[in-house]
Structure 1
Amino acid sequence: MDVKIYDNERVDALFANQVKIIQSDEVFAFSLDAVLLANFTNPAKKKQQKIVDLCAGNGAVGLFLTAKTSAKIYEVEIQKRLANMAQRSVILNDLDQQVEVINADLNDILTYLPKDSIDTITCNPPYFTNQPDSKKNPNHYLALARHELTVTLAQTIEQSANLLKMNGKVCFVHRPERLLEMGALMQKNRLAPKRIQLVYPKAGREANMVLVEAIKDGKPGGVRFLEPLVVYGPDGNYTPAIRKMIYG
């Protein structure tokens, strides 16, 4: 099917599963955190099950998950232009029977999807709190993607809990400095963290990303810390683990 690609856009691919994504540096381009989140997530797999990707951006995480599951996937994105890019990427990959884009504020998501109805949720939310004196990107699209201007971590966790079935799972990628805050918010919303993986840019450096999986109404305790991921080797190239995620 023909899909319109505009002058300021390009089509990139995740070679590991041949998924094509429409990107634009003007508004947003998926980065490694999307690949890491999709790789970390063990999604519900059956056709009758349902997956939601919150803060979907241009749809990368949900599209990457299609290689792992037959479940219906809903991509939720507040920015109209990004949602449009995601929708065109869905068509570009001939996935419109499996993936649906919802252009909405995730705080209104229960208007679109029933409470307690989702098996797996993924979320790559804005990482930085909206401090009045914090420096923000002058590009409004990028500022929204990086700072909590329209949604907070508390809201993404609350809405995840609202959407999930009992024993449903949610997976987040975020910054390590917010891990304890995330854990407290999850506990408040009946979510029990079960798997955590730290991501390091290079050996000998501090972690700059964390992946967290939690289960709704899961038993407390039993948290597993997975083997750390290191992104770049001493030669400046991707480590074998990261290269496999990207190139297969």
Structure 2
Amino acid sequence: MNKEYQFIDVSLHGSVGVVALNRPKVLNAINRPMVTEIVTVIEEFDRNEQVKVIVLCGNGRAFAAGADIDEMAEANAIELELLNQFTEWDRIAWVKKPIIGAVQGFALGGGFELALCCDILFAAHDAEFGFPEISLGVMPGAGGTQRLTKLMGKSKAMEWLLTGDRMSANEALHYGVINRVIAKELLLEETMKFANKIAKQAPLSLRLIKESVLKAVDYSLYEGMQYERKNFYLLFASKDQKEGMQAFIEKRKPNFEGE
């Protein structure tokens, strides 16, 4: 990973690819070029056979304190419609490998939306989440109203979205928005430990489990179960299934190769 990026840091740690937002002087405020870099690298990791899991985090005191308001303040509706900037965000949802987010400090507005694109979210005790767009006379546009509602239900999501209030890490945990609250100084270490644990699993199983869970969010129970069943059958065409079951029979650790 020798390529230089302007707004992010990129590194590879064994089987874990790490993308760190890197505009610390403005609390990692998200502008369009940063989104392009994030999406480009995540897609590269998705195609890289060495990478099994992707970690998304932020350098400095915050994960991301929101979108870059200067970039949008003078925009008009037709300009934004033609630009159609959020189609880039859609590509994150197409990534097949698990994405784990590590949030410290602020995850507000677009920063919260980016965090919600992750499959699993860990947060430091000082993390604060929220959608302050209402106070700017606008609303979330990169999936905030949709993803938050699917996570916590209509009534609670409506409360946070209409008030713009901040949500603490413990509140986010309570409402199922995040998976764990971790001491700030241990956040990245614990996130990487978890990522490495997941990276040892069969890559095709990781891929098809993620796919099936995401379908469960949108499909009816019957349709979701049909999708799950097809993916279950599909894994029996893999070498990893044979290796995993043979290793179980032989009472040894499996050697998964993603085939």
What TM-score, normalized by structure 1, do the two folds share? 0.27
TM-score under structure 2 length normalisation = 0.26
Structure whose residues are more often strand by fraction: 1
